[in-house]
Amino acid sequence: MGRIDYRTGRTVKMAALIQLVFLVFCTVAGAVEEGVTLFFFWGEGCPHCASAMPFMKELEKRHPDLEVRSLEVFNNEDNLELLKKMAEQHGTEARGIPMVFIGDRYFTGFSEGTAHDIETEVKRITEHPPGDGDAPSRTGGRLELPLVGPVDSSTLSLPVFTIVVAGLDSFNPCAFFVLLFLLSLLVHAHSRQRMLVIGGIFVIFSGLVYFVYMAAWLNLFLLLGELQFVTVIAGMVALIIALINIKDFFFFKKGVSLAIPERAKPRLFERMRNLVHTGSLPGMVAATVILALAANTYEVFCTAGFPMLYTRALTLERLPLSMFYLYLLLYNVVYIIPLACIVVLFVVSLGSRKLSEWQGRVLKLLSGVMMLGLALVLLVRPYLLNNAIASIGLLVICVSVTGLVALAAKRFGSDTAQPHDGV
């Protein structure tokens, strides 16, 4: 996305103001004649602008009532000042190009998702011209919701998508297995304080390790940019992981499996037993941190596709670098909530519980089905990942499919609820 060098002057501002009045007049006149005007601000040498050019031409061909006003800003100070004025009229700032204004909406940057949103807005305005009482209520990308008021739909979609994916990822059978086994050992110490300290440290460092792991994916995708083949590769890898997880439900521990390796379990168990018998607080904290680092090295393989899918979808958004990391933080806060709940339940009840094979298989199925859905969307319609309704709908469908398959397998299958010694 091109950056804008602001150069202002009284003459330029006056010319831009006259031009703005003229364009607004033309827009109103066009609306009366049931036409739609789209203002496309671009700059010479801007790669994203060059990508948007063919789309704008095709868009105008597909919609006879649409007029695209193409305005270059790097070599035309009047157009640059006009861009700033129009951005101010829409309650925003002109921070980069390409920038598109249509009706009461604006779009910055260009991608497949942006193109879809622009065409959707063109269709909305042509089908519901200004003054049409049946037109959906929108103001500058905001939705008027009862009892809530104005909500910016563009800022709602990504948080919802983040919570949905992180929520599914948080039901990690490998993480559950390690934490439940550790807490079961701590029950014998009959110390709620010790259990809370060790369990809490383990959960926090599990989240930190996962954050670093996701940050690595994020920086890799930021380095590679918006190349289509990168998205395709990420989607295909996630598709393979999803199919392996689904396979584990039907053919558990047969063939390739994404789980904690059997050869690694004795070492993990030994670390846990040593931790339970550690006397000093500093030694206990250090041992817990080491255990969390070791355990999470294996845990990431259980649901490896979710962080990869999410970070790739995230890098397709045009956000400041700090926002990328804030979304990773939100993701990891959601990720550790179920683990924290397990710790609290154990501390309160001093109970002991293990993850059954059936429960582990269902969690595998759920993660596999959801990952399959996300991978297909990323490959076919990536812009849907920015749609809050689509994200929630995908979650509902995947949970429903998982429930139906699990019920059918339990009813017609056999030997499905045996005790389980790990995943």
pLDDT tens, residue by residue, 302-328: 666 788 888 888 887 767 788 899 999
Q: How far apart, in Å, do the first and last CA atoms of the chain sit? A: 45
In this prediction, residue 329 carries a pLDDT of 95
Residue pair 42/4 in contact by the 8 Å Cβ criterion:
no
Whether residues 62 and 203 fall in one domain = no
Residue 326 counted as domain residue: yes
Whether residues 186 and 229 fall in one domain = yes
pLDDT tens, residue by residue, 67-120: 999 999 989 999 999 999 998 888 778 877 889 999 888 888 887 778 888 888
Catalogue the E-assigned strands of 296-414: none
| Residues facing 69 on adjacent strands | 39
Residue 408 counted as domain residue: yes
pLDDT tens, residue by residue, 379-401: 777 666 666 677 777 778 888 88
Average pLDDT over residues 39-52: 89
d(CA 366, CA 364): 6
Tell if the pTM clears 0.75, that is, is over it. Answer: no
Q: Is the pLDDT of residue 248 over 70?
A: yes
Residue indicated by tokens 């397998």: 409
Tell me which of 109, 140, 171 is where a domain ends.
Answer: 140
d(CA 423, CA 416): 15
pLDDT tens, residue by residue, 4-39: 554 445 554 555 554 554 454 444 444 434 568 899
173-187 and 192-224 helices cross at what angle (nearest 10)?
A: 160
In this prediction, residue 387 carries a pLDDT of 64
Q: Is the pLDDT of residue 42 over 50?
A: yes
d(CA 308, CA 79): 41
Tell me which of 112, 140, 168 is where a domain ends.
Answer: 140
Q: Is the pLDDT of residue 289 over 70?
A: yes
d(CA 416, CA 393): 29
The secondary structure of 191-213 as a DSSP string is -HHHHHHHHHHHHHHHHHHHHHH
Residue pair 382/235 in contact by the 8 Å Cβ criterion:
no
Residue 365 counted as domain residue: yes
Residue 99 counted as domain residue: yes
Whether residues 135 and 167 fall in one domain = no
CATH number of the structural domain spanning residue 98: 3.40.30.10
Other Cβ atoms closer than 10 A to 126: 15
User: What is the overall mean pLDDT for the chain?
Assistant: 74
Owning domain of residue 312: 154-412
Whether residues 252 and 391 fall in one domain = yes
Residue 121 counted as domain residue: yes
Confidence at 346, pLDDT banded by 50, 70, 90: confident
Residue 272 counted as domain residue: yes
pLDDT tens, residue by residue, 200-223: 888 888 889 889 989 998 998 888
Whether residues 279 and 399 fall in one domain = yes
Whether residues 90 and 197 fall in one domain = no
Phi, psi torsion values for 219, nearest 5 degrees: -70, -35
**Radius of gyration of the chain, Cα coordinates, nearest whole angstrom:** 27
What's 264's DSSP letter? Answer: G
Whether residues 169 and 220 fall in one domain = yes
Residue pair 271/290 in contact by the 8 Å Cβ criterion:
yes
Pairing of strands 99-102, 105-108: antiparallel
Whether residues 245 and 387 fall in one domain = yes
Residue 420 counted as domain residue: no
What's 72's DSSP letter? Answer: E
Whether residues 351 and 281 fall in one domain = yes
Number of domains in the chain: 2
